[in-house]
Structure 1
Amino acid sequence: MDEKLGEFLANFNRAIELARTHTAENDGREHLVDVLTAHVGVAAADVPIVSQDIPVHRFADLDIAMETIAARDPGARLIGVGGGQQRQHQSLSDLVQEGFGPVGIGQPDFLNLAIGPERSRDVVALGLRLFTYEGIPLAVLQRAANPQYGRSGPDVAVLAREREAAVRFLAEIQEDLRTNSILRGQVVSFAFDPYGQQGAGVTFLARPSLPAGEVILPDGVLDRVGRHVLGIAANRDVLLSHGQHLKRGVLLYGPPGTGKTHTVRHLLSASEGTTAVLLAGNSLHAVGEAARLARAMAPSMVILEDIDLVAEDRNMGHGPQPLLFEVLDALDGLDADADVVFLMTTNRAEALERALVQRPGRVDLAVEIPLPDAGNRLRLLELYAPAGVFSAAALGSAAEQSVGATASFARELVRRAVLRAVDAGQAPADEHLAAAVQELMGQGEALTRSLLGTGGGGDSDDPGLPHGQEPHPGVSTGYSFGWVGQGGASYVPLPRA
């Protein structure tokens, strides 16, 4: 039995060698193993391979670093892996061991990746770079993520006759990724990946342009937020020389539609050169990766929209939330001298986990973005109304009547007035604005008012509050904030600003 098995294996090996020779003779291509063996100077199948996984959002950075290092060798080559879809399943070890049969060389695969809001780059999606590094020949396989073939993230694999050279090369790649990136100074958001953070790519966003004059908030609120977010960054060297930390957490809270996101857009506009990572909805799962990126790309900003979605109080009956601990770890994991700001927003401050808001160094400034009063409602209408179309008296009357309205309500009010004029074949005028106010404040528009952020009528200038209650001052300066009313108080403890 053993003799027959040995004979079978010998015949099988001869068949493989004949197939390999026949394939090479018929397609005229060099055999990949032969090319690698000739390059490294020893049998490729006997050479150690060192591999490294790379986050998806750093793949373009990897391609740039690889190209730069390989270019030091004037004789560097870029080759592809021949074959059909099967090559997508093979590692560099599979290729040199010919576990799936002989492979010829082919053309490298390329992938067009965004490297900015309006720029892109062709990166090597599957290819081998052959070059000399520190006098030692290396063969480096570069592969993009391809979930269809079981690769949730990119990787590189290095074949070198001296393993230490491969390790030093990968260390240089990691150092390059740490110090250089196309992400630096950009505004990006993470894409949600159900298979984990490793596969989460980035979307590049244009930095907003929003001057302070278009952010309508109570007097002093925007200045205070700006001093904490932008002022600390502007004075980082002086603060560090006095032993003061730079990392900070800012919470913007208040009813929907009052301008929290608008305030964030202004801060982004005013922080040119700062790296910003926006997380909202499902992308909040990537908060750990966002924190690591922010640390590497500082000065930077991590924006967590609707933080209550992952940082809800555990005492509210929902039990432990794994993402909450990721947020806390991200806030605690930064060095004191890291110029990183975590900017969080929520519509439900009272629901926030106390571990987030009580501990100093996590949230050190909490600012309420309240419903606009009559004066700010007028400013909003003046901002959104076409210049010179409505009289000052008409705008003032609309502001007085739209008690409890938000910025989004004011914008819709102006739009409705213009639409009424267009439908009537007339130029927009005061009567159209007055009619739009009556329409939106009417009983039949209760749902629209709710969606746009207004509580409708009432005696208080803020009818969204329960009867008899008054809003707490807009900027938190004590240890708590909340609604204080006749029936007592509901507080969420916060550190002093």
Structure 2
Amino acid sequence: MTIDTEPAPITDVASWLEATGERRALQALGELLLGVTAVGTSETADRFTARCLNVPGVSHLAVEERPLDPVARVTVPLALSEWMQQHGGAIEVGPFRHSEPPQWTQTEVGDTTYRHPKRLRVFFPAGTLLDGKGVVLGVENRDSTLDDAQITASVAPEHRAAVQPLLDRLFTRAEQLNPYRGKAIRATYVRGGLRLTVIDLPAITRETVIVPPEVWQEVDLGVTAVRDRHQLLNVHGLGTRRGILLVGPPGTGKSAVSAVIAGEVLGEFTVIYVEARAGAELLTAVVEQAQKLGGPVLLVLEDVDLWCRDRARGSSGLSELLQAMDIASDARILTLASTNDAATLDRAAVRTGRFDSIVEVGHPDRDAATAILTALVSGLPGGTGVDCDTVAGALPAETTGSDLREIVRRAVLTAGDTGQVTTNGLLAEVRGGRYQAQLPAGAGAYL
């Protein structure tokens, strides 16, 4: 393995200065070399803080810092902005670092745009946030990965004991303002961290997803536990949190079941779809965020076998899954996972207390296939005249719901301009077998 040690050239000086935070140091060096101070130099952040709190310098202050996770980077500035509006006539706003001016930004969550502080310090005089005590709160929320997002609180040393309760109040209010609550979110792994993005769910219902009744029964049991029976279960030490694993071949409707349940509970629940890498690396962080939402949460882990396998086969995601599934048994979290091959999962992952129920979503039988076909052709030209039972009887074994959908689609596409489906047209597609994508014999040997 060769390691490239040649340094990369700096092609954008302004961006480099912004990322490294060296702008003020270079400015100070220039002033020293010239022997003069720049005219109109703004008050630095430290001087602003010391002046507001009436001390000679920031070394005379007590300062507490708290990091901001991906959600708190939005919610804490929103809570701080609310406090600033409440005490607008009394506060004073200054720079966060050096002499950089205060900055605001905006974050889009779904259809709503939230405007909030990005980098600044704000002085709250005595009698606003704290009786008889002034405090300077600062927020730092840079885009660069070299700088951690954080909130700081500065007070006179004798008032140090008031800082932690104040920040607790700020974070409590931030959780109440969480704009992700009640929405459908996708959790992804980005540049070593977690990103949450609001998504739209497909408009499907139980009427169009035909699976065995016990699938709905088990999922409904989990929803009931988290939504309706959480107090009873927790009072008696039984725990609310539940996990359900949907097992079955590809195309049998596992993802569709998750989408149906997500659509049914959305609004009352927050729905979080966790992508594979986020699951393998950051599932614990996702669960910790879910706990802060203050309501029931549905976690959807699709194709969990892609990143969480038996420990004998080597799996970086297994320890993350086990750790995440063991957090807070009293949390109002329902985990709905799916896999094509449960045999690849470690036995520690599929035990009761992590995945409490394993439900098979298998190939549809003739009655189920008839019901699926009836739902698929409903509303199509000629759909009312199709003998779905006859078509279902002609299907080969192990035909999936996805196969049935493709059979209907091909029948529509080959029906000419009318797009009219018929029993014979559907039977022709079944006999032709082209609805199942298959590699030709000898594929891969063309060279």
Do Structure 1 and Structure 2 share a fold, with TM-score over 0.5? yes
Distance 1:233 1:146, change over 3 A: same
**Number of residue equivalences:** 398
Please tell me whether the aligned partners of residues 230 and 271 of structure 1 are also in contact (alpha carbons under 8 angstroms). Answer: no
Q: CA deviation at 1:303?
A: 1.9
SS of corresponding position for 1:370: coil
Q: 1:290 to 1:192 in 2, by over 3 A?
A: same
The answer to whether the 8 A contact 1:190-1:286 is kept is: no
- Greater shift, 186-195 or 175-184, is seen at 175-184
User: 1:483 aligns to what?
Assistant: none
Which position in structure 2 is the counterpart of 1:473?
none
Confirm or deny: 8 A CA contact 1:248 1:342 kept in the other structure: yes
Matched, 1:70 2:84: yes
Structure 1 residue 250: Cα displacement: 0.9
Q: How does 1:136-151 map to 2 (within 5 A)?
A: 136-147=133-144, 150-151=146-147
Q: How does 1:54-93 map to 2 (within 5 A)?
A: 54-73=68-87, 74-80=89-95, 92=97
Structural mapping, 1:146-161, within 5 Å: 146-147=143-144, 150-151=146-147, 153-161=148-156
Q: What is the 5 A alignment of 1:391-410?
A: 391-403=384-396, 404-410=398-404
Judge conservation of contact 2:81–2:117 (CA < 8 Å) in 1. Answer: no
1:383 equivalent in structure 2? 375
8 Å CA contact 1:380–1:407 kept in 2: the answer is: yes
Q: 2:310·2:344 contact (CA, 8 Å) conserved in 1?
A: yes
User: Hey, what does 1:274 align to over in structure 2?
Assistant: 269
**Which runs of 5 or more residues in structure 2 are unaligned?**
1-28, 441-447
Match of 1:3 in 2: none
Structure 2 CA distance for aligned equivalents of residues 256 and 13 of structure 1: 65
Provide Cα deviations, 1:350-377, integer angstroms capped at 9, x if missing partner: 111011123x311211100001112212
Q: Separation in 2 of the partners of 1:173 and 1:18?
A: 44
Give the alignment of 1:2-41 within 5 angstroms: 15=32, 19-20=36-37, 22-24=38-40, 29-30=42-43, 32-41=45-54
Superposed CA RMSD? 2.9
The correspondence of residues 249-328 of structure 1 with structure 2, limited to 5 A, is 249-272=243-266, 273-284=268-279, 285-297=281-293, 298-315=295-312, 318-319=313-314, 321-328=315-322
Q: For 1:253-298, what per-residue CA distance to the aligned partner results, in whole angstroms no more than 9, with x for missing partners?
A: 1001111111111111222411222212212122001111222324
Note if contact 2:182-2:269 (Cα within 8 Å) is conserved in structure 1.
yes
- Residue among 331, 351, 362 paired with 1:338: 331
TM-score (norm 1): 0.72
- Displacement, 1:392? 4.7
Q: Which runs of 5+ in 1 are unaligned?
A: 1-11, 82-91, 96-102, 449-497
Partner Cα separation in structure 2 for residue 299 and residue 14 of structure 1 = 57
Distance 1:326 1:339 in 2: 20
Q: 2 CA distance for matches of 1:415 and 1:119? A: 37
- After superposition, residues 473-488 of structure 1 pair within 5 angstroms as none
State the secondary structure of the residue aligned to 2:213: coil
Displacement, 1:234?
2.2
One-letter code aligned to 2:161: E
SS of 1:405 mapped into structure 2? coil
Given that 1:49 and 1:157 are in contact with CA atoms closer than 8 Å, whether structure 2 keeps it comes out as yes
Amino acid paired to 1:327? L
In structure 1, distance between residues paired with 2:33 and 2:154: 24
Q: Is the 8 A contact 1:208 1:268 kept in 2?
A: no
Whether 1:211 aligns to 2:228 is no
Contact (CA 8 Å) 2:78, 2:177: kept in 1 or not? no
| Distance (whole Å) between structure 2 residues aligned to residue 17 and residue 131 of structure 1 | 38
- Alignment TM-score, normalising by the size of structure 2: 0.79
